[in-house]
Chains A and B, each alone.
Chain A
Amino acid sequence: MGVTLALLSIMVMIPLASLVVFTAKMDFSDIIKVITRPRVVASFEVTLLTAFIASVINAVMGVILAWVLVRYNFPGKRILDGMIELPFALPTAVAGISLTSLYADSGWIGGIFANMGIKIAYTRIGITIALIFIGIPFVVRTVQPVLEKLDPLYEEAAGILGASRTRTFWKVILPELRPAIFTGFGLAFGRCLGEYGSVVFIAGNQPYETEITPLIIMSELQEYDYSSATAIALVMLAAAFLILFLVNLIQIRNSKILKGGH
């Protein structure tokens, strides 16, 4: 118990407390001034938009991947399954430079799109792709166990009642997966909002265009402007907590439906 609390204090509580102490010393109007700077606001927009799109794409792909991994048998399935965690294992910086060179106009994939007149690296599309990479495991790994445990009886019941496969999926299976999808989506979204390593290389970091919020914090820190960095960080923390809160809310609602109570 003592060891637990001591380590927890040194590693988590004291640093957090220093954030609180530092914030308390700041003027509220200063905080507002910092976070309403057009460049900062633009970075919020870029970060939120790209993180949202990436997480939506990951939610859809996550369900498809989980479905394929649970319901189908095919050669190489185990490899595919093991690969899902790669974004957790691969250092973000490596992912960042690799995606950058892959999606740059001279890269293998970027080149194909460049011919069609679409630039990927150094645009918001590039940021989104890096965030998709980072977020792949979340939805797959939350949906997969739910799908594995899903009682086949529900599908049999729907089948006997005359439902088509498509209808059974949308009306019976998807509602069962929905809480897990939202949880995975929330986790991925939260992760994407704070992501730095994989994004900085491919983003191009053009102010107002492709500059993400973590990068702004980073540059404020490099200029020793700790107050601005902290102010912006507070907004990000608030966003992260809001997401966690919403995820919890969904789970509470869900357990109400499943466990009864009025």
Chain B
Amino acid sequence: MSAGNNQVISREGTTEIHAQTAGSKAVKIILISVSVIFLFVMLVMPLITVIYEAFRKGLIPYLEAISDPDTLSALLLTLEATVIAVVINTVFGLFAAWAISKFRFRGKKLLVTLIDLPVTVSPIIAGLIFVLTFGRQSIIYPLLESIDFMVVYAVPGIILATVFVTFPFISREILPVLEAQGTDEEEAAALMGAKGFTIFRRVTLPHIKWALLYGIVLCAARAMGEFGAVSVLSGHLRGKTVTLPLQVEILFGDNKFMPAFAVSSILVVLAVVILIVRSIVEYIGKRRGEK
């Protein structure tokens, strides 16, 4: 009976001692209050500030600020970089996770470490290494110059930086799911004569779709918000190499506070949407996982 009953107990989560250790009412109220106040001051107030400052002068100035041509071109560039980063990293993430989980080979650990590296280095250093690779002092600079392909202080640099800082996001989410799943089902499908892509679509994809979606959401969030690395490679040419976060920086630096917050408000809305989508995806994924 112990097994059956322990389940009952843990599901209800109300054993006597457990209730006692969870604490007296006073402790509970204090801890919840501390948490709520902390998160309110640290997370909610900044959001409120953005919205408040953005609409400080009313709706018309707000609309004017966000329809400024520079801002619109920044929005377009941000979307461009985000979409490219998501596409490249999805492709990479699928291949990398698949290769790592389905094959055994030497240097697997090194590969995983290398893939994770971009998130562990400072965004400024991420920018720096691309400057060193493609900048004026680089060996390949003359070559790039001859074909008139500029990376540093140009759009390709921004895109590269964005892809780099979000590089592991998708593979990292898929990998654990694939590893847990093993190769049995794929092998069974292959024995029944299914082709590679069919196997992927019919057998592998259903397993990883929630992890993939979650990874895409994380990747998109980070891509549109990246500041440090992009800042290094941008050169801040208005209307050309400025993304939304950089536009915020420029406006703020010019003491145009209201427009800076107006632009920020777009990013805040996107961030909140991403958080909600993330919660939903995670919730559904968990429920599916349990079934």
Contact = CB atoms under 8 A, between A and B. Distances in A.
B49 A91 contact: no
Interface in A151-201: 152, 155-156, 158-160, 165, 168-169, 173, 190, 193-197, 201
Contacts of B72: none
B45 A90 contact: no
- What is the interface residue range for chain B against chain A? 35 or more
B164 A11 contact: yes
Contacts, number: 256
Interface stretch (A16-24, A33-41, A249-257): A16-24
Contact of B46 (A3, A61, A99, A195): A99
Contact of A165 (B20, B44, B222): B20
A150 to B, nearest CB: 10
Given A7-B92, A8-B96, A98-B49, A91 B224 contact: yes
A13 B42 CA distance: 37
Contacts of A91: 224-227, 244-245, 248, 264, 267, 271
Given A95-B46, A101-B53, A218-B124, A74 B32 contact: yes
A42 interface: no
Interface in A60-80: 61, 64-65, 67-69, 71-72, 74, 78, 80
Given A65-B38, A101-B53, A19 B21 contact: no
Nearest to B100: A4
Interface residues of A, number: 81
A197 B228 contact: yes
Contacts of B227: 91-93, 196-197
Contacts of B41: 109
B132 interface: yes
A133 B49 CA distance: 15
B43 interface: yes
B161 to A, nearest CB: 10
Contacts of A84: 39
Main secondary structure on chain B at its contact with chain A?
A: helix
Nearest to B282: A82
B17 A156 contact: yes
Interface string B8-35: 0110010111101111100110011011
A168 B20 CA distance: 10
A240 B122 contact: yes
Nearest to B15: A152
A82 B121 contact: no
A8 B171 CA distance: 12
B235 to A, nearest CB: 9
Of residues B38, B225, B274, which shows the largest number of chain A Cβ atoms within 10 Å of its Cβ?
A: B225
Interface string B264-291: 1001100110111011000000000000
A12 B118 contact: yes
A74 B45 CA distance: 21
Contacts of B222: 88
19 contacts: A7-B88, A7-B91, A8-B92, A12-B114, A18-B133, A80-B35, A89-B225, A90-B47, A91-B248, A91-B271, A93-B249, A94-B248, A97-B248, A133-B43, A155-B21, A214-B122, A217-B124, A221-B232, A233-B124
Interface of B: 9-10, 13, 15-18, 20-24, 27-28, 31-32, 34-36, 38-39, 41-47, 49-50, 53, 88, 91-92, 95-96, 99, 103, 111, 114-115, 117-118, 120-125, 127-133, 135-138, 160, 163-164, 167, 218, 221-222, 224-228, 231-232, 244-246, 248-249, 252, 257, 260-261, 264, 267-268, 271-272, 274-276, 278-279
Given A65-B35, A95-B46, 19 more contacts: A7-B96, A85-B275, A86-B275, A88-B218, A90-B47, A92-B245, A101-B53, A108-B45, A133-B42, A136-B43, A152-B17, A156-B18, A158-B21, A190-B120, A197-B245, A201-B249, A217-B125, A224-B136, A240-B120
